[in-house]
Amino acid sequence: MNTNTQENPDAATSLEELIGSQTGRRSKKSWWWLLGLPALVVVAVLFFLITEEEKTVPVYSTRDIKTGKLVVTVTATGNLQPTNQVEVGSELSGIVEEIFVDVNDHVKSGQVLAQLDRSKLNDAVTMSRANLVAAQAQVLQAEATAEEARAALGRYQRVAELSGGKVPSKNEMDVAEATLKRAEANVSSANAGVLQAEANLQSDETNLEKARIRSPIDGVVLERDIDPGQTVAASFQAPVLFLLAEDLSKMELHVDIDEADVGQVKEGQTATFSVDAWPGRQYEAVITRVEYGSQETDGVVSYRTVLAVKNDDLSLRPGMTGTADITTLIHENAVLVPNAALRFTPPVASGEESKQSGSVVMKLFPRPRMQSHKKQIASNGASPRVWVLQEERPMAIDVTVGSTDGQSTEILDGSLKPGMQVITEAL
């Protein structure tokens, strides 16, 4: 290698020049990169700051203020019941001999529904009739005895008149008078026996009639809890054999009104309700009674309310669950705002984030935004307020609110007018 270099000095010089030129070019490119990097950083930071500034501009969702009809309703759930529901039982014990009706049968007042075995009852009636005849015979016998004693006393009195009081003796006269009084008393006792026998006969005949269980009303048989051959035991209380509904064309819906809503519910208010059996169909009802007595279920206090329902087509049945919407208030031409507008409060930046000036380091390396750095504008609690946009900024307006239907609220006083837009949320 050294020998070749010494022999060719020109080649060595060219190699050094080539190496030197390559090194110079690399140095120039490195300087260009070093000079351009800060400029790129500045451009990126400026773009980031402008983008963040644009992002901090709030965007709001607004709704129009409208004039319309405000209808306030109270929702309650309950069950349908007949206007008059009667439980028919038996006062007597015995074996059911025959049943004449079944479930869903229409019955009339006085119609026989079932009959118990009447063998013993017939025997009791026969015995009571015999006792009555015997008592009546006792009356005849007592009357005959009394008549005999009365005749004997009359003879003694005539003899005494004819004999000038010599005969009969005073003792015989007293005995005759006492005999008559005892005979008359026996007549009274015999008559009382007749009355007692008649009462026993009437009681046995009543029991015989009660063995035929009759319907007390005109209606429909809802339940039948007895079959032929079964024994009815009525020792302590009358067992229920049939459940009757008087008139299913008129029914009642019994609902439970929550204590928070009972102040709005009054007699005469109208309502609509639906049942699961007929989806999409609405039935009309009228409140007839709001009970003062409360009832508590699982810690919830409610008040029983009765609604009158027409059921001409008999599509409604006892026990169905109905969900009623009771109309408690109707206001025409009410100024309405969405409830979301009354709940809205615009967020604003805290004092540290609202400052326009700051260090270059803070702008170049901003800290992550924390939710705790934001606060809500709190109202003074004097009155409700809504917010409207003025020069792209939210402005508060105090209002006086009225009733609400859960979605919109009536504005009673304030500077709001139909057509204005209120803020409902910040996007």
Stretch 125-135: mean pLDDT, rounded? 96
Q: With a threshold of 0.75, does the pTM exceed it? A: no
Tokens (6 digits) for 49 = 């700051």
CATH of 85-112+215-246, picked from 2.40.30.10, 3.30.300.30, 1.10.240.10, 2.40.50.100, is 2.40.50.100
Q: Write down the mean pLDDT value for the chain.
A: 82
| pLDDT range class, residue 379, cuts 50, 70, 90 | very low
Confidence of residue 252 (pLDDT cuts 50, 70, 90): very high
Peptide bond preceding 168: is omega within 30 degrees of 0, i.e. cis?
Answer: yes
At 422, is the secondary structure helix, strand, or coil? strand
Predicted confidence (pLDDT) at residue 131 exceeds the cutoff of 90: yes
CATH 1.10.10.10 fits 76-82+248-330, yes or no: no
Q: How far is CA 307 from CA 79, 255, 278, in A?
A: 10, 8, 19
Of the options 2.60.40.420, 2.60.120.10, 3.40.50.2300, 2.40.420.20, the CATH number for the domain spanning 60-70+336-426: 2.40.420.20
> What pLDDT is attached to residue 348?
60
pLDDT band for position 30 (cuts 50, 70, 90): low
pLDDT score for 352: 41
Query: What would the mean pLDDT of 145-151 be, rounded to a whole number?
Result: 94
145 or 237, which is more confident = 145
Q: How confident is the model at residue 151 (pLDDT cuts 50, 70, 90)?
A: very high
Burial profile 381-417: b = 16 or more Cβ within 10 angstroms, e = fewer: eeebbbbbeeeeebeebebebbbbbeebbbbeebebe
Which tens digit of pLDDT belongs to each residue from 218-230? 999 999 999 999 9
